[in-house]
Amino acid sequence: MNNYLMACLGAFLLASCAPRTEKTTATTTTGSETACMQTEIHPLYAKGFRVSYADDYVLVDLQDPQQEESSTFQYALVKRGTHPDGIPKMYTIIETPVRSAVCMTSLQLSNFTKLNAQDRVVGITSTRHLFNPQINKQLKEGATARIGIEGNFDNEVIMAMNPDMILISPFKRGGYEALKNVGIPLIPHLGYKELTPLGQAEWIKFIGLLIGEEELANRQFEALETEYNRLKLLTADAAALKRPVVFSGEIRGGNWYAVGGQSFLAHLFEDAGADYFLRNDSRSGGVTLDFETVYSQADEADYWRIVNSYPDEFSYQALKEQDARYADFRAFREKGIIYCNMRNKPFYESMPVEPEVILADLLHIFHPDLLPEHTPVYYELLK
């Protein structure tokens, strides 16, 4: 029996024979115990974080999933109260499990919700369209605070909460420079830069790693991954399916804001058995177009996806009143608008960790024979 197995067996026998105690200290954990007992995190789809394990610490490297040459953010996660040797100097030390955090985006908040860890969230930014009952309760009771909006954070409120970490989106213009002065670790959450639904959802593993819920995070992700891939396989036989064409967006200030053909949304449509109208576009981020360009490529598209916060009941008439030219699209004429009103549904608050639900909604619309009994959750055809 090799030394590794002997160490594991010894740790198991000691744990079995020793009396139970109310409290154990992290400093008593040995390298052998870590190797035997630790649940590890290994991203399969997410491109924005990498994890490597040592005996007494975990190294995490974060990088923009869309830019291989971008800056890398490096953190060494250690058990609270320990000071292990051998950590590379360029890594910022973070004590875990993280007990409290500030979330800057709905996507970040969705990860805590999926892990039933809303009580760790002590600060949030905008509360517009906030549906989560637990967070609303915490706001009312003062357990969670509003820290202001991007570019105008209330540093005094943040310091009073004294969170273990602040999650940020470093490649957005969020005014995060001012937060560097509060002395609280700023940790990037780059899920919003992932280009696939499963890649974005897999960031629950990153949060699970930080808050000590690795096993739950792995289990939750495996469940949604299994269902997502099951649904995706329903459209695998492309020859047997007519792939509808879908476009997205609306005119804002004279410009039509869409996303490129390598974007998150384009991949989602592909998995749902549809073709995005810019599928041959090589860009992954936002694309600004004029009406004529969109119309020339999408006038005969089968479906039109719209997500907004319309104050009243949205309708084809309401859409036409915004711009009469909308009525010229085939998707308008033949009632092919896929719609979600963020005033009524927790789209950005829940969607990032429910890609299988979003995929089912779209499959039900694009290929109704494949999921005839599905009840729409986020997307449905506008009536």
Query: Cβ neighbours of residue 131 under 8 Å, at least 6 residues apart?
Result: 345, 346, 349, 350
Mean pLDDT by 10 residues, the chain (383 residues): 42 38 34 53 97 97 90 96 96 98 95 98 87 96 92 88 93 72 92 97 98 98 98 81 93 93 96 95 92 97 96 95 97 98 94 98 95 96 95
46, 199 contact by CB (below 8 A):
yes
In angstroms, the CA 311 to CA 341 distance is: 9
- In the block, tokens 């309708």 appear at 315
Among left, alpha and beta (phi > 0; psi -120 to 50; other), residue 373 is alpha
In angstroms, the CA 182 to CA 166 distance is: 10
Which amino acid is located at 86 in the chain?
A: G
pLDDT of residue 176: 77
Picking from 335, 338, 342, the residue whose alpha carbon sits closest to that of residue 359 is 338
179, 166 contact by CB (below 8 A):
yes
Burial of 354 (0-12, 13-18, 19+ CB in 10 A): buried
75, 91 contact by CB (below 8 A):
yes
Picking from 13, 101, 20, 91, the residue whose alpha carbon sits closest to that of residue 54 is 91
Q: Which pTM does this prediction carry? A: 0.88
326, 320 contact by CB (below 8 A):
yes
Which amino acid is located at 45 in the chain?
A: Y
In angstroms, the CA 77 to CA 91 distance is: 9
Ordered by where they begin, the domains of the chain are 33-225 (3.40.50.1980), 236-381 (3.40.50.1980)
* Helix/strand/coil (H/E/C) assignment for every residue in 99-158: CCEEECCHHHHHHHHHCCCHHHEEEECCCCCCCCHHHHHHHHHCCCEECEECCEECHHHH
